[in-house]
Amino acid sequence: MYRLSSIVYVLLVGAGLSAQTPHGASLTIACEDCHNTGGWEFIGEGARFAHDNVGFELKLSHLEADCKSCHSTLVFDEAESSCISCHDDMHSMSVGDDCIRCHDERNWLVDNIPELHEINGFPLLGQHRLISCSECHLSESNLRWDWIGSDCTTCHIEDYHATSAPNHIQLGFSLECVECHSPASQSWGVTESFHLFFPLEGKHDINDCAACHLGESYSNASPECVSCHEDDFFATTSPNHLALNFGTDCTMCHIGDSWGQANFNLHDDLYFPIFSGKHEGEWDTCTDCHLGGNFTSFSCIDCHEHNDQQDLTNEHDGEDDFVYESEACFFCHPTGEED
């Protein structure tokens, strides 16, 4: 190699040919790294020159490209490395000049369209996945992607104005469509969470909107239980709410999914402590005292069976008015305590 380079050097200097280099003055790589005595062709395979070291790695299709297709002047450092300096921006600057956001050197096909939409905060789901690009990208050329904006109203405001069932404008529905509609859906049916202002769960998980929304309008329903369940209230017998003077704020006592599940802490103040005091945790169902579910009567002795009549009578030795009757127990023990 030493010999070869000497020969080339001799050739060049000796023949006074150094002025003939087409590569400009700044090239510091030795001629023989790329040429041999065979001529001024680039020696290709056997070349010692490695392009990776010059700050622009040749990848994929670029590896196949001829040196001169990028270095037409042969003054190598005149080449610029940004993609756009050699390739036409087919998108008329609608997506910027950072081509490698979407392309690499393999070919110009783009296979990450779904990801691109995700990155832009607009994943293509539901109906949006099925329609053609041009239904949303309305630019004159199908290689332009001018900024649209991903708010539903950008593309659907006319649909909103045209609604009739229900008429969104009349009802003052929000322009935040996602409160009630999902972009992952193929229709304008509402999402499950849309009815958060009155959750349609449990016994209210009713598909028939008209069960609660009578007539055309959706805004005439009240969330007050009694507005829909007044008849049920009047019809109660066990216990008879009207006779007991129960209020119509049902949520005071009804919490669960059925009328049988009552949260009846008021019992302690109104009648007899069962959620506090000595009887807290000592009973299983209301019928332990209200035999047969009859709330207007109660029994103490059916439960105090462990102390039988004789025992109790002995316990109450000296209590002249003692009788073995529930009404009497309650009379002397109105809070279920000893005194």
Minimum distance from residue 72 beta carbon to ligand HEC (Å): 9
Tell me the torsion sign for CA atoms 235, 237, 240, 241.
negative
Residue 21's alpha-carbon distances to 42, 43, 73, 149, 233, in angstroms, are 13, 16, 12, 55, 104
For ligand HEC, the closer CB: 3 or 100 = 100
Minimum distance from residue 3 beta carbon to ligand HEC (Å): 17
For ligand HEC, the closer CB: 3 or 272 = 272
CA distance 224 to 120: 43
315's tokens: 């316990």
Minimum distance from residue 33 beta carbon to ligand HEC (Å): 5
For ligand HEC, the closer CB: 3 or 202 = 202
For ligand HEC, the closer CB: 3 or 128 = 128
Residues in the chain: 339
For ligand HEC, the closer CB: 3 or 158 = 158
Minimum distance from residue 1 beta carbon to ligand HEC (Å): 15
Q: Of 139, 197, 140, which is closest to residue 171 (Cα–Cα)?
A: 197
For ligand HEC, the closer CB: 10 or 143 = 143
Minimum distance from residue 9 beta carbon to ligand HEC (Å): 10
Burial level of 289, CB count in 10 A (0-12/13-18/19+)?
buried
Tell me the torsion sign for CA atoms 213, 218, 219, 223.
positive
Minimum distance from residue 7 beta carbon to ligand HEC (Å): 13
Minimum distance from residue 205 beta carbon to ligand HEC (Å): 8
Amino acid at 55: G
Minimum distance from residue 308 beta carbon to ligand HEC (Å): 10
Amino acid at 216: E
CA dihedral 49, 55, 56, 57 (to 10 degrees): 70
CA distance 220 to 216: 9
For ligand HEC, the closer CB: 1 or 100 = 100
For ligand HEC, the closer CB: 10 or 244 = 244
CA distance 48 to 252: 90
The gap between the terminal CA atoms of the chain, to the nearest Å, is: 118
